[in-house]
Amino acid sequence: MATIAFIGLGHMGGPMAINLVKAGHKVHAFDLVDELVQQVVAEGAHPAADAVDAVTDAEFVISMLPAGKHVEALYVTGDRPLFDVVKKSALIIDSSTIDAATAQRVTAIAAERGLNFIDAPVSGGVGGAIAGMLAFMVGADDAQFAQAKPILECMGRNILHAGGHGAGQIAKACNNLLLGVLMTGTCEALNLGVKNGLAPAVLSEIMKKSSGNNWALQLYNPYPGVMEHVPASKEYQGGFMVDLMFKDLGLAMELSQQSASPVPMGSAARALFSLHKAKGNGTLDFSSVMRLYQDQ
C-alpha cells in the first residue's frame, strides 16, 4: 500500500485516482474544483486542502493537467512550487500530455534538485481511464520505471518504457500524429468508396483484411452504423474530442519544428481537423472528421 498524491481530477484524472483507491492505495486527492475532489472522496480518497497538503507525505505524486504551463507552475514557478515541499524519496509521475520541451525543462530542474520526476502520458481515452485499461508511455530511467510500473498497472494495461526523460511525451506525440493520419485517411478512403457505390461495411471489411488495415478500422470505425458502440454510431458523442486531437497535433508540430523533422502527413491531418473545428465541431469525437468529407 502506497501513499499517493493525485493532482488534477478531471475526466481522465478522476477515474485514474479512483482506480488507485480500488487497488488499496491511500490517495490524497486535490483539484482546484472542489466538486471533483468530492467525487473521488466518495470513492474512498482523502481530500487535500491544497496541492502542498496533498504531497507532503506522499511516496508517489501523480499529476494530470491540461498543458505544459500548468505543470511548470505546479512544480516550479507557481506560488508554492511542489518541488520545494515534496519528499526527496518520492517518485513524481506527470501523466499530463504536454509539450516535450516543457517536460524536459521541468525534468532537468528536478534532476538538479535531486528529485525523481518522470513523464508518463496516457492513451486510451475516458473509457480506458474508467476501465483501468490505459496505455502509459513512460520517459524514465530503468529504476524509476521499475518503481512506477506497479502503481501505473493499477490504472492501465500496457505500461510502455519509451526511453529516458521526456521520451514518454515524444512517443505520445508521435503516436497521436500517426493516429490523426490514420483516422483522416480511413475517413477519406471510406468516403471515396461510398461515393462510388460501395457499402461502407463491405469496404471496411475488405481494407481490414488487406494492407489498409489499421486501428480505426479495427476498433473505431468512423462511418456511422458499421460498428456498434463507437462514437460514429452515437452521433459522434463521447470518445476523444476534435479539440484534443487538434491540441495533440499542435504539440507534434512544435516537436517537428524544434527538431526540424518533416511531418507533411501530420500537417495535412492537423489542417483537416482545424477546418472541421472551425465549423463548430470541436467537442464532437474526432472520428466526426468523416463529416468534413461528406457531401452536404
List binders of a copy of itself among 206-235 (CB under 8 A): 206-207, 209-215, 218, 220
* Among 22, 69, 87, 172, the one annotated catalytic: 172
- Stretches 4-12, 37-45, 58-66, 173-181: which one binds a copy of itself (CB under 8 A)? 173-181
Among 186, 286, 272, smallest CA distance to 242 is for: 286
d(CA 260, CA 253): 10
Measuring CA to CA, how many Å separate 25 from each of 29, 60, 128, 173?
12, 11, 20, 30
Of the candidates 35, 79, 112, 259, which one interacts with a copy of itself according to CB under 8 A?
259
CB of 250 to a copy of itself, least distance (A): 4
Residue 245 binds a copy of itself (CB under 8 A): no
The answer to whether the CB of 41 falls within 8 A of the CB of 61 is no
Polymer length in residues for the chain? 296
Residue 96 binds a copy of itself (CB under 8 A): no
Q: What are the backbone angles phi and psi of residue 222, rounded to the nearest 5°?
A: -80, -5
Q: Which is nearer to a copy of itself, 14 or 128 (CB)?
A: 128
What would the grid cell of residue 7 be?
A: 493532482
Q: Is 172 a catalytic residue?
A: yes
Q: Which is nearer to a copy of itself, 82 or 272 (CB)?
A: 272
Q: Which is nearer to a copy of itself, 44 or 66 (CB)?
A: 66
The answer to whether the CB of 77 falls within 8 A of the CB of 143 is no
Q: How many residues bind a copy of itself, per CB under 8 A?
A: 85
Residue 152 binds a copy of itself (CB under 8 A): no
Question: Other CB atoms closer than 10 Å to residue 77's CB: what's the count?
Answer: 12
Of the candidates 2, 23, 154, 189, which one interacts with a copy of itself according to CB under 8 A?
189
Give the catalytic positions in this structure. Answer: 172
